[in-house]
Structure 1
């Protein structure tokens, strides 16, 4: 029996070593103890291990996946009179005083959830970091909290989702990320409206404090009145519980965090960075817009990307579904080709991709989502050396494609073609990734014979000899006879 157990353990370790993109954790390079002021916090240095990360996966999953209608903001729009979600809710579930958002929680059973199976999928997709949304805008915590009973351990699935995913993800050698959106909860629900269940004080632990009508505004408008001290304290206390209990490597924040008093934001950063020092590990925090001071954390974009290479490390979060962050009845999934090209483009500009996927309320990852993740993983097995641990080159790329920048702008960017080339470097090697199969010769203008002389060129995944010539006009690579793969194609270029 002991031999069987030892053999099984050996096989698990062997499999992990072959499939996961394990990230080395370096010891902190600073003993600087952080204080809750921007001068101290802006001394933060992005860890080298984080600069090596290029691809991560997270997921929007909670009670809002029970109705699975339109998008993850169901919990907000169901209370807005006249909104399509409001009309759907009343027709399907009844009036808002009789059936409110709280009533979806017992229906959120997650009976098919398997943290190990999900983590294995993330590994096979080629992810280097992964994790759950710990609390979305709806105020329902996905961890075992002592600060509220409105959590996934006490209600709904009766599962500590964050804890289960932490164990599964860290066991496989990936970095662990958690996300936090609680600041959106302030005025999210109509706690002023007597015609809804959100007005009832018995449910304030989920729906939040009483606020005047009209308090909720979008992130680009000023909130008035701002949250009081009690809300700020609860925001920090729940966040502190989350980060101390599950020790994430990366904490990701959604936008609109600027409504939280600045002192509380600074205090969290100081606490978390000092926690990292105490645990002898380097940690990362991300933010959007101006929610934290520049240099105190890593900038994150949403459904968008940079148009040019940046000299700082950045992140973008994007969803596998064009129209929603959560599972919905009629999804519109992006193609694997689009997802791979997006990853290559972002990495060439000093960024990384955090891809959102969309589990069902039962705890299944849709077959179409699995298919795309595994196709990305297959591409990365062949071409990952041009992505993982790379750095930017002199320029990010060549080609006619122009990127439209801006929040939620990704739908404005067209698919790439074989004329678009992106560059990354590692260990004195240049990787030139052509974003579609070249039907004719490839010309890289930046590699004319006036530049460094080329020693050899290889197309990753191919055994064919490459016919090429370095001219005054650029590097000319003749087309190959046999196509390899289905998406972006990587030329590995070595110099004398």
Structure 2
């Protein structure tokens, strides 16, 4: 049931869209341009934190899997917390007190890591809102910690000069709790809008994007109201939407939401953007997102990878399998050389503490970033993204394994008067050859014809000598010893 206040809000949404400049159709939304700051920022932090962080078991899909009798989580829940009729997912809410959450400390850590923007999840598939909401009482202000967690974090981030963004994963809540109806549990009818588990409809197959059961108009309107509430209360510079929003049923309401958000941005005097996956939006109307993967070649458009410090979960658990810092940095270099940004996820504990291993990795990333910031922030792809035999695979879920780089694998960016060459595996003898910077004997071949003025290495007090011939630019850097990519700055006359 829509309240009178919500009816007025829907009228306001229509009014903002009618006043433009963006209309709720792809032809109009195609006029969108990516905010200038985004393409320069390169590195952001994603945060998955919620009720699932209290359980800290397997991954952030615990709320779904604990109600599926074939899943390990179903039996784990019964043994650890009791039968589902007596202790359901909602009973984790009082346990979520966030007693050690220090937003200023988080913001300082993310800034030290070299991030320029931060994406806390406002609402995950489980339906618990991490902010103060007037739409449902199942939120962090009215229950659990009884704090506006999203608002506190926004304030702390902006005080550190970081750009506040946020995400909604609400779309999947249409079916996320549905398996609790298949046996005797606390997920049961009757349900109404605003209830924690509502609507708990049958889960569709992943490929069912144009078939029933469609989300109802009531659910789609609720999704619109919740997302617009986030926009108006917290004014994020970017919004991120997770999967299933590509379902045909969302097309009309998604265009409406995008027009509203982009028009609100115009009213506030700032460019905003939506990050989307699976072609949920028409290309050119937002920022293309690749989950845990990359694009294999440099693109003329800016895109983003969302990935995580851990290989097996987005949230904190007691069984995390961490990537190495080197793996994350190498992945980052691959991404920026191809005109992408990396959004790296951390998973705080239910108490609000950021785990020690996450802190360690973020600190190491920050040290590398500080040394090589000239080659990162504000850079653009060079005319070639890479040389060497190792190539990343195109697509999603491809970044969990470390790649076998050698000293012949080099990635490039450019900025101002310089080309930056990232040597992915620096040799102990300090000698490398950059074949893409060879002297070209044929002026008709589209290779490098520039005049090199100086070559230096970033982040090290090292003596660098070099010479150029038809086989490449041969560089020797004495005294450089590191497991991380080494960056050479090639200044051009």
Name the TM-score, length of structure 1 as normaliser: 0.90
Q: Deviations 1:194-225 (Å, cap 9, x if unpaired)? A: 512111446862112253xx434336765521
Question: Residue 134 of structure 2 aligns to a residue in which SS?
Answer: coil
Q: 2:463 maps to what in 1?
A: 465
1:104-143 matches, within 5 Å, as: 104-143=92-131
Could you tell me how far apart the structure 2 residues matched to 1:243 and 1:135 are?
13
Q: 1:24 maps to what in 2?
A: none
Q: Deviations 1:166-189 (Å, cap 9, x if unpaired)? A: 111111111111011000101111
Q: 1:488 maps to what in 2?
A: 485
Could you tell me how far apart the structure 2 residues matched to 1:329 and 1:419 are?
39
Contact 2:299 2:339 in 1 (8 A): yes
Contact 2:323 2:400 in 1 (8 A): no
Contact 2:246 2:278 in 1 (8 A): no
1:33-432 matches, within 5 Å, as: 33-190=21-178, 192-193=181-182, 195-201=184-190, 205-209=195-199, 211=201, 214-218=202-206, 224-259=212-247, 260-412=249-401, 414-432=403-421
Contact 1:131 1:169 in 2 (8 A): no
Q: 1:7 maps to what in 2?
A: none
Contact 2:176 2:200 in 1 (8 A): no
Shift of 1:312: 0.7
Q: 1:452 maps to what in 2?
A: 450
Question: Residue 232 of structure 1 aligns to a residue in which SS?
Answer: helix
Contact 2:191 2:199 in 1 (8 A): no
Question: Residue 327 of structure 1 aligns to a residue in which SS?
Answer: coil
Q: Deviations 1:223-251 (Å, cap 9, x if unpaired)? A: 52110000000000000000110000010
Shift of 1:380: 0.8
Q: 1:475 maps to what in 2?
A: 473
Cα pair distance change 1:149/1:223, threshold 3 Å: farther
Shift of 1:141: 0.6
Could you tell me how far apart the structure 2 residues matched to 1:171 and 1:74 are?
34
Could you tell me how far apart the structure 2 residues matched to 1:141 and 1:493 are?
49
CA root-mean-square deviation: 1.7
Deviates more, 1:317-326 or 1:408-417: 408-417
Question: Residue 369 of structure 1 aligns to a residue in which SS?
Answer: helix
Question: Residue 258 of structure 1 aligns to a residue in which SS?
Answer: coil
Q: 2:4 maps to what in 1?
A: none
Q: 2:7 maps to what in 1?
A: none
Question: Residue 208 of structure 1 aligns to a residue in which SS?
Answer: coil
Shift of 1:265: 0.3
Aligned length: 463
Could you tell me how far apart the structure 1 residues matched to 2:239 and 2:474 are?
45
Could you tell me how far apart the structure 2 residues matched to 1:448 and 1:210 are?
62
Contact 2:191 2:198 in 1 (8 A): no
Contact 1:131 1:165 in 2 (8 A): no
Cα pair distance change 1:223/1:318, threshold 3 Å: farther
Question: Residue 121 of structure 1 aligns to a residue in which SS?
Answer: helix
Could you tell me how far apart the structure 1 residues matched to 2:196 and 2:393 are?
38
Shift of 1:394: 0.5
Structure 2: state its 5+ residue gaps: 1-18, 441-448
Could you tell me how far apart the structure 2 residues matched to 1:174 and 1:90 are?
42
Could you tell me how far apart the structure 2 residues matched to 1:125 and 1:208 are?
39
Shift of 1:486: 4.0
Q: Deviations 1:272-297 (Å, cap 9, x if unpaired)? A: 11111101111111100111111000
Could you tell me how far apart the structure 2 residues matched to 1:347 and 1:298 are?
15
Shift of 1:414: 2.1
Deviates more, 1:329-338 or 1:137-146: 329-338
Contact 1:215 1:223 in 2 (8 A): no
Deviates more, 1:156-165 or 1:408-417: 408-417
Cα pair distance change 1:230/1:32, threshold 3 Å: closer
Deviates more, 1:447-456 or 1:318-327: 447-456
Cα pair distance change 1:96/1:219, threshold 3 Å: farther
Could you tell me how far apart the structure 2 residues matched to 1:220 and 1:403 are?
30
